[in-house]
């Protein structure tokens, strides 16, 4: 449905889904099964040889999960998608098909703190190496490219700093080097931004956030545009060289524009096992049906709250690209025409201690480590999500000692403002 004539909200409800052929159930059922019966020995062999698509085992595929994959691929304008157990699992799987031991990739240093740690610390155990650059200096991406560089990674709308990255320019740098651009679209969602339309080759999501939208299920997604030519150079042997595990099959030759997703499923999911449960897929599917409606309210509320904080005497700055004076306003108009998202940060004049006091005094806002909920959420990143970083790394990531992050929900904006006003007194 990449070139579907349907609008976003229609796709959010209908893409990938159809009445159950056996029961007529209109809602996608939860296929709670570990394995699937083969028609006969030949059918089983063809599935295991990747000669035929179908269900083999629950670690690799599931009909409920498949609907989620088709839906997010349609919303992002991608060729195919793979759903996994969490956003971090999505990042791991996305890199698994690209990197070999000793390889490198470049990432924006304006990322969620957990991603900075995953890329900068945990990935080293696999001998994968990340070079972090400042995304506000576009040329820094080009300067960081080496012969070992296999991808560039960035967040379309950075968490927690609210920085909007110039996707189109970074995509051009990546493609000149013969490598893919991977964009984390969690904060923006495909309702606000479709990175593939601006040159991104792969899009990842923490589906736990706005796609699910209700804070009840973990999940992650890797979406492939289907447009990157893996065989243009020798950088991606997993996709372009014969596979030991499948009798010499070459993924790029055999599966064409599905090669990356098929590899991630047939090798990544099979061997690493970060499977998404069918129940969580069902919950995320339900949330996605109202994604457009929720994002409209999220963005409208966020702008009102940001304007209130911008004028408060105890607030030193507000980083929200929807504000008229924000330095990312121009890029937000280009990449996020429907709104600047629901998550933003602001600085308290009282610094670290003031941040701790604020999160303890609010009543409507929930103090927890998540974003994208229908409920409004608050956190002091320096003492929580970015605690593992040095102060220098935290400041670089937009999570300095004075920073408070808000994820604005769909409540009445006036109530949210009153809650913050009382807590700031």
β-strand pairing of 104-108 with 181-184: unpaired
Q: How many helices (H) and strands (E) does the chain have?
A: 18, 12
Q: Do domains 8-287 and 291-424 have the same CATH topology?
A: no
- Check if the beta carbon of residue 224 is closer than 8 Å to that of residue 78: yes
Which of the four pLDDT bands, split at 50, 70 and 90, describes residue 228? very high
For residue 400, pLDDT over 70 is answered with: yes
Output the six-digit token pair for 372: 């994208």
DSSP 400: -
For residue 207, pLDDT over 50 is answered with: yes
For residue 3, pLDDT over 60 is answered with: no
Which of the four pLDDT bands, split at 50, 70 and 90, describes residue 1? very low
Domain range list for the chain: 8-287, 291-424
Contacts of 103 (CB under 8 A, 6+ apart): 127, 128, 129, 148, 149, 150
For residue 398, pLDDT over 90 is answered with: no
Give the separation between CA 330 and CA 322, rounded to whole angstroms: 10
Which of the four pLDDT bands, split at 50, 70 and 90, describes residue 161? confident
Angle in degrees, CA 386, 388, 392, rounded to 5: 70
Output the six-digit token pair for 220: 């992650």
CATH code 3.10.20.520 for 291-424: no
Mean pLDDT of 325-354: 94
Mean pLDDT of the chain: 95
- Measured between its terminal Cα atoms, the distance across the chain in Å is 52
Mean pLDDT of 300-323: 97
Tell me, what's the pLDDT at 4?
62
DSSP 409: -
pLDDT tens-digit readout, 255-299 = 999 999 999 999 999 999 999 999 999 999 999 999 999 999 999
Q: Is the pTM of this model over 0.75?
A: yes
Percent of the chain with pLDDT over 90: 88
Which of the four pLDDT bands, split at 50, 70 and 90, describes residue 374? very high
In CATH terms, the fold of domain 8-287 is: 3.40.640
Q: Which helix (H) or strand (E) holds 367?
A: strand 366-367
For 180-213, the DSSP string reads -EEEE-TTTHHHH--GGGGT-SEEEEETTTTTT-
């Amino acid at each position: 449905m990449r070139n579907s004539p349907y609008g976003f909200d229609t796709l959010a409800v209908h893409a990938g889904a159809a009445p159950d052929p056996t029961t007529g159930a209109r809602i996608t059922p939860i296929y709670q099964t570990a394995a699937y019966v083969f028609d006969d020995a030949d059918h089983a062999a063809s599935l295991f040889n990747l000669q035929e698509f179908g269900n083999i085992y629950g670690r690799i595929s599931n009909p409920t999960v498949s609907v989620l994959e088709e839906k997010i691929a349609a919303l992002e304008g991608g060729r195919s998608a793979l759903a996994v157990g969490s956003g971090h699992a999505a990042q791991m799987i996305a890199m698994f098909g690209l990197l070999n031991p000793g390889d490198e990739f470049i990432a924006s240093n304006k990322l969620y703190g957990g991603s900075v740690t995953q890329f900068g610390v945990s990935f080293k155990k696999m001998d994968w190496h990340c070079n972090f650059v400042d995304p506000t200096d576009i040329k820094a991406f080009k300067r960081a490219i080496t012969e070992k560089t296999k991808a560039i990674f960035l967040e379309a709308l950075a968490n927690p700093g609210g920085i909007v990255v110039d996707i189109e320019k970074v995509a051009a740098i990546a493609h000149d080097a013969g490598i893919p651009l991977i964009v984390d679209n969690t904060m923006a969602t495909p309702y606000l931004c479709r990175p593939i339309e601006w040159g991104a080759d792969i899009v990842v999501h923490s589906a736990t956030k706005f796609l699910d939208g209700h804070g009840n299920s973990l999940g992650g997604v890797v979406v492939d545009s289907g447009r990157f030519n893996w065989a243009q150079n020798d950088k991606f042997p997993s996709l372009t060289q014969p596979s030991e595990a499948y009798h010499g099959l070459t993924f790029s030759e055999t599966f064409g524009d599905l090669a990356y997703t098929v590899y991630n499923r047939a090798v990544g999911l099979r061997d690493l096992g970060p499977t998404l449960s069918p129940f969580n897929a069902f919950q995320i599917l339900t949330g996605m049906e109202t994604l457009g409606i929720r994002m409209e309210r999220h963005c409208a509320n966020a702008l009102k709250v940001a304007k209130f904080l911008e004028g408060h005497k105890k607030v030193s700055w507000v980083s929200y690209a929807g504000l008229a004076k924000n330095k990312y306003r121009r890029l937000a108009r280009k990449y996020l025409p429907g709104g600047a998202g629901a998550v933003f940060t602001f600085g308290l004049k009282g610094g670290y201690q003031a941040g701790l006091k604020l999160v303890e005094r609010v009543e409507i806002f929930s103090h927890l480590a998540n974003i994208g909920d229908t409920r409004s959420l608050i956190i002091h990143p320096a003492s929580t999500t970015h605690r593992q970083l040095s102060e220098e790394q935290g400041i670089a990531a937009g999570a300095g000692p004075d920073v408070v992050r808000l994820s604005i929900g769909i409540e009445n904006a006036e109530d949210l403002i009153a809650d913050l006003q009382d807590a700031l007194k």
